[in-house]
Structure 1
């Protein structure tokens, strides 16, 4: 009996260590998308990270994408309750090593003092996009970053975010909550949508989780990328949905 108990305890300890490792990985998944209406012949690369929460960005992660991305996008939940503002500042400084930083709000970001967070964004030159869009110039034309506020807290106003964009242009929709994709219509001209929020279920048992794993889906109205996210909520553990970030390259499709 003691041997059985010892084996079970050892197995449990090994599983917990593996779950801790899964939660603290610094994986950068690479994606390449081609679109007929992407402006210009030169490709554009962005670094996408969501759901940082309590985690400190690892320098090894930044080294993996340094000089490879044109800018960085934070897909919400940069922080949460009880995270020191100094840690958020350190994380933003690391992301700024990649390039310009763009941010949309997630539900947990509203657990902290939003005024103090906005002051920090201003200090660090972070581009906050709230139910609005921001136009980036490329060598061949323009790309619109369309950012909505958090949908899970009923703050998202997609029509407002789309009001300054041209459906015939190249548009990337940033929404922390991927369920907003149900509001997207094909005629909105959203080429790519980037989301997080779900953590991929975070802890999946026998392949089952509360949410789908991070994925890329080709939908009738857009292409959707949902990230497992970088940090965790509640427990600093993951199983079957490892921490991840994304290096996304977009270029024109050759016809």
Structure 2
């Protein structure tokens, strides 16, 4: 009996070490999207998408994997949570700025801290906050790409209609939101080609393939394409199982 207990303890310790290591990997997933309505006067757009950083420190190993510079680094919410020092946020943002200009949308955990201070800190670091707003990029030919971002859905702060008003009507539209259910708030008429979201952590800890959320993946919907990321960090416990930590290097281009 004692031998069995010792074996179980060893297995438990090994499993915890494995789960901890899994939660601290620096995985970069390469995603490529082709759209018939992508403006031909733009070269392919390269984005680095990272969501749900929470308590993690951005590892230099992650930065090295990304072939800098990218056109934009997009933080898909939950940059931090309660208990995370703002000095870590500043360090993480500066690390991400090594590979490109940084854009940010609010997540639910970002509101656990003094979010007014977080807002001013990000602005001082030249981070563009997409809180129910849009930023437009125009080519020499007058074609436009719009990156829209909405505030946190869980606190009913999202105002997609306001963001759409700031985007050019006939532009190629990319939407950033922390929570994936944003896709239920628009139809084909808004002409949003791609949505990037996080929040779910892929379930974070999945037992026998089951978890509270499905694994992050690309969903091809009738009215848009949705990428849901497992995210970079963890919440609750610094462990993962069956849902690896991930970030995304995304290429968006036209069809051949």
Q: Please indicate the TM-score interval, normalised by the length of the shorter structure.
A: over 0.9
Write the distance in 1 (CA, Å) between the matches of 2:50 and 2:139.
22
Q: Where has structure 1 moved over 3 Å in runs of 4 or more?
A: 137-141
Q: CA deviation at 1:126?
A: 0.2
Deviates more, 1:118-127 or 1:230-239: 118-127
Cα distance in 2, alignment partners of residues 89 and 66 from structure 1: 22
Shift of 1:54: 0.6
Q: CA deviation at 1:233?
A: 0.5
Q: Which residue matches 1:76?
A: 77
User: What does 1:1-255 align with in structure 2 at a 5 Å threshold?
Assistant: 1-39=1-39, 40=41, 42-137=43-138, 141-254=143-256
**Rounded Cα–Cα distance in structure 2 between residues aligned with 1:155 and 1:118:** 15
Shift of 1:168: 3.1
Q: Retained in 2: the 8 A contact 1:42–1:139?
A: no
**Structure 2 unpaired stretches of 5+:** none
| Inter-partner Cα distance in structure 2 for 1:241 and 1:220 | 27
CA–CA separation in structure 2 for the residues paired with 1:211 and 1:167: 34
Mapped contact 2:69–2:100 kept (Cα < 8 A): no
* CA root-mean-square deviation: 1.3
Task: Write the distance in 2 (CA, Å) between the matches of 1:3 and 1:62.
Answer: 45
Aligned length: 254
The 10-residue stretch of structure 1 (166-175 or 144-153) with the greater mean CA deviation from structure 2: 166-175
Q: Would the alpha carbon gap of residues 38 and 18 (structure 1) be closer, same or farther in structure 2, given more than 3 Å must change?
A: same
1:41–1:252 Cα contact (<8 Å) kept = no
Taking structure 1 as the reference length, the TM-score comes to 0.96
The Cα of 1:142 is off from its aligned counterpart by 2.3
Alpha carbons of structure 1 residues 125 and 96: separation in structure 2 relative to 1, 3 Å: same
By how many angstroms is 1:137 displaced?
Answer: 3.8
**Unaligned residue ranges in structure 1 (runs of 5+):** none
Q: Deviations over 1:113-141 (max 9, x none)?
A: 11211221121100001111111345763
Question: What is the alpha-carbon distance in structure 2 between the residues aligned to residue 220 and residue 34 of structure 1?
Answer: 16
